[in-house]
Amino acid sequence: MQLWPDEYEDLREEAREMVGSLLTGLAEGAFGAGDIPADASREEKVRRSREAMVAFFAPVPEAEVREIAGVPCRVFLPEGPATAVYLHFHGGGMMIGAPEMNDTGNLALARHHGLAVVSVDYRLAPEHPWPAGPDDGVAVAAWLLEHAEAEFASSRLLLGGESAGGYMAAAVALRIRDELDAIDRVIGLELVFGVYDWGRSPSQRGLRPYRGPDLLDPDGILFFTECYLPGRTDDERRDPAVSPAFADLAGMPPARFSVGTGDHLCDDTLWLASRWVAAGGEADVWVGPDLPHGFMWFPCELTKRWQAHMDDWFRRHL
């Protein structure tokens, strides 16, 4: 099994240098790690992390802010009739973040692929633990299943997201299948370095294929997990209703999975993608050697290859 083409070998050194030069400042800025005392309360850690993440919001004027099924969303429209509706979920460990993190990318999807993009501002832990976030995602999905044709000129749905957003996309898609009986309307899932095992996979605990610098670390992942799923053991967090990696994956639509080998969520992607195929599904898997969590923030030739792979996947499935 070859996880990346031979030609990527010559691109690894550049990627490592780029990550090494940018990651420390990015991690401290994104999560406020450099300013939060070790003995700070949970509330203080959450507050400071959210304040720090605001610096990474990049709202664009083209976004239409509206409520869908009672949930705040940011909507991006193509210039003509939509080829499909892309239901997007932002990252942030189910605790921080907002749709504004992805305005630039979502606008590009609308412009380049003719998609109507709906990015969901779902409720966050610890104020709103599981299942509040996925409930919001399912509510928006249900509305789109009923109204997308009239509203956006297409009844086809794609779901996707990054990090916790990848988790949200997978979890919501499973509930579209099981609760809404409408998985046939979903033509694909774009799952980018998601967390699919809330019982903490080996890589989440630090056993990564490449142990270079990363935006995530085991302590931070555990903190996110305890905010989102308080009072549960690791086995309880592996309930299929919570962790997509443990779900029945029969009948799921084609999916694109991507992750770097330096990501503390690497195992989650490799495991879910393998189970996806074993269950009869179609999976395109992109693995970036040595790349960390959030690798698209590190401009290098490897991340350009990831972007090209993504654009090709959208073109083929549209």
Q: What is the pLDDT of residues 195-227, one digit of tens each?
A: 999 999 999 999 999 999 999 999 999 999 999
Residue 169 has pLDDT above 70, yes or no: yes
What value does the CA radius of gyration of the chain take, rounded to a whole number of Å? 18
Task: Give a yes or no: residue 93 inside a domain.
Answer: yes
Please report the pLDDT score of residue 76 as a whole number.
Answer: 98
Domain limits at 99?
6-317
- Look at 159 and 30; give whichever has higher pLDDT: 159
Q: Which helix (H) or strand (E) holds 86?
A: strand 85-89
Task: Give a yes or no: residue 238 inside a domain.
Answer: yes
Task: Give a yes or no: residue 284 inside a domain.
Answer: yes
Task: Give a yes or no: residue 150 inside a domain.
Answer: yes
Cα(174)–Cα(156) distance, integer angstroms: 16
Please report the pLDDT score of residue 87 as a whole number.
Answer: 99
- Look at 31 and 298; give whichever has higher pLDDT: 298
Please report the pLDDT score of residue 55 as a whole number.
Answer: 87
Task: Give a yes or no: residue 234 inside a domain.
Answer: yes
Residue 33 has pLDDT above 80, yes or no: no
Q: What is the rounded average pLDDT of the residues 162-184?
A: 98
**310 contact partners, CB below 8 Å, separation of at least 6:** 190, 256, 258, 286
Task: Give a yes or no: residue 201 inside a domain.
Answer: yes
Task: Give a yes or no: residue 1 inside a domain.
Answer: no
Q: Are 190 and 130 in contact (CB under 8 A)?
A: no
Task: Give a yes or no: residue 13 inside a domain.
Answer: yes
- What is the Cα 215 distance to its own chain's centre? 15
What does the block give as tokens for 85? Answer: 């509706």
Cα(105)–Cα(126) distance, integer angstroms: 27
The single-letter code of the amino acid at 199 is G
Residue 34 has pLDDT above 70, yes or no: no
**120 contact partners, CB below 8 Å, separation of at least 6:** 68, 71, 72, 73, 87, 88, 89, 90, 99, 136, 137, 140, 168
Q: What is the pTM of this model?
A: 0.96
Q: Are 155 and 83 in contact (CB under 8 A)?
A: no
Angle of helix 42-53 relative to helix 218-228, nearest 10 degrees?
Answer: 110
Kindly report each contact of residues 304-312 with a partner whose C-beta sits within 8 Å and lies 24 or more positions away, as own/partner. Answer: 305/8, 305/11, 306/258, 309/256, 309/258, 309/284, 310/190, 310/256, 310/258, 310/286, 311/112, 311/113
What does the block give as tokens for 287? Answer: 């693995």
Query: 56: pLDDT confidence band, cut at 50, 70 and 90?
Result: confident
Please report the pLDDT score of residue 31 as a whole number.
Answer: 56
Q: What percent of the chain has pLDDT over 70?
A: 97
Q: What is the pLDDT of residues 82-118, one digit of tens each?
A: 999 999 999 999 999 999 999 999 999 999 999 999 9
| CATH code: domain of residue 15 | 3.40.50.1820
Please report the pLDDT score of residue 244 as a whole number.
Answer: 98
Query: 29: pLDDT confidence band, cut at 50, 70 and 90?
Result: low
Please report the pLDDT score of residue 39 as a whole number.
Answer: 81
Q: What is the rounded average pLDDT of the residues 120-146?
A: 98
Q: Please state the domain count of the chain.
A: 1
Three-state secondary structure of 33-69: CCCCCCCCCHHHHHHHHHHHHHHHCCCCCCCEEEEEC
